[in-house]
Amino acid sequence: MIIDLRSDTVTKPSPGMKEAMFAAPVGDDVFGEDPTVLALEEKAAQLFGKESAVFCPSGTMTNQIAIRLHTRIQTEVICHKYSHIYLYEGGGIMANSLASVKLLEGDLGKITASQVAASINPDDIHAPETTMVSLENTMNKGGGSIYTLDEVVPIKKVCEEFGLKLHLDGARLFNALVESGESPKDWGAQFDTISICLSKGLGCPVGSLLLGSKADIKRARKVRKVMGGGMRQAGFLAAAGIYALDHQVDRLKEDHARARALGEMLLKKSFVSEVLPVATNIAIAKLDGITPEFFLEKLKEKNIKAVKFGPDLVRFVTHHDFDDEQLEEFGNRISDL
């Protein structure tokens, strides 16, 4: 048995999800005629209290579409230096939107309202115009750290004061919501656009959604087409998303509990000096005396997969397909390391 903890993207559709996918009525989504895609978009928009939504192949695409909506040439995006939109989307901010980026520091990948206010460029011909702020919840490079509404509301107020758009990369937003108990609608009220991923903790094979106003999503569909994201009979994929939203959200708490237990196992090893606080389903181990490459090779010998996450860091991500049996087996396999 291989224990794959590289990411929550490695999940396979559950039996119930497969049944829903094969039973889905479909049409041509580029023509706006796929009833299952339309149902998923409406369901997600209503869940977060937004006017509209668009279904896309990936979270990178939904994030990049949002940036395209909220920027133009010679404008700037404010985000944390470890943000997915900056580190893991192939330079898309520049390539797709011709915008620049202002990178901020912050504990566990989070930024504050005061930092945002201090980072807005003055009205000066020498500086790009600041038009957008992007947050990430949960924060991947922060070990799955969570923003709370108490932290986000002040950032929203700064954005309103200075006329900035606020975007949320919510690739693992449902992990944050089940842990905090906060309302999707309360979160929807804070952001101009929200990207949510269906193929991570929710266990779908493909897909993300961009939520926003009717006007923004109408423009987003045009940008999606330019980026190659128009899909035809996409209802088979959308059906997985509907199933996940109905059946696979609350169970994310199980992933969080297993991640905490896994973190405790790692912390007992002499070569692990620290495990970042495990807030959701990500455990990041800081190594002492060995390299990530060496540790990963030893794990590979025991049929365990994880990923290097820095010069002395290794990331483990729990997910739908990692159960209590595998958690116990993980502990057994690393016992002699």
Query: Among 175, 192, 193, 174, which Cα is nearest to 184's?
Result: 174
The two structure tokens encoding residue 51: 């006017």
Q: Measured between alpha carbons, how far is 332 from 206 in angstroms, rounded to an integer?
A: 33
The predicted model gives 124-132 an average pLDDT of: 97
Residue 297 CB partners (closer than 8 Å, separation 6+): none
The predicted model gives 254-274 an average pLDDT of: 98
| Tens-place pLDDT, residues 1-59 | 999 999 999 999 999 999 999 999 999 999 999 999 999 999 999 999 999 999 999 99
Strand partners, 61: none
Query: Among 60, 146, 129, 127, which Cα is nearest to 96's?
Result: 60
Share of the chain above pLDDT 70, in %: 100
Exposure string of 290-322, with b = 16+ CB inside 10 Å and e = fewer, is bebeebbebbeebebebeebeebbbbbbbbbeb
The predicted model gives 306-328 an average pLDDT of: 98
**Is the CB of residue 16 less than 8 Å from the CB of residue 247?**
yes
The reported pLDDT for the residue numbered 161 is: 98
- Helix crossing, 173-180 with 252-267: angle to 10°? 90
DSSP string computed for 189-251: TT-SEEEEESSSTT--SS-EEEEE-HHHHHHHHHHHHHTT---SSTHHHHHHHHHHHHHSSTT
Place of tokens 């995006």: 77
CA distances from 219 to 53, 55, 92, 325 (A): 11, 13, 18, 47
| Tens-place pLDDT, residues 174-200 | 999 999 999 999 999 999 999 999 999
Q: Is 8 exposed, middle or buried (0-12, 13-18, 19+ CB in 10 A)?
A: buried
The reported pLDDT for the residue numbered 160 is: 99
The reported pLDDT for the residue numbered 50 is: 99
The predicted model gives 235-242 an average pLDDT of: 99
Q: What is the DSSP letter of 17?
A: H
Neighbours of 328 (CB within 10 A): 12
Residue 291 CB partners (closer than 8 Å, separation 6+): 312
Q: What domains lie within the chain, and their CATH numbers?
A: 13-247 (3.40.640.10), 251-333 (3.90.1150.10)
The reported pLDDT for the residue numbered 287 is: 98
Q: Measured between alpha carbons, how far is 147 from 180 in angstroms, rounded to an integer?
A: 9
**Is the CB of residue 60 less than 8 Å from the CB of residue 89?**
yes
The two structure tokens encoding residue 237: 């994929």
Exposure string of 155-168, with b = 16+ CB inside 10 Å and e = fewer, is bbebbeeeebbbbb
Share the mean pLDDT of the chain. Answer: 98
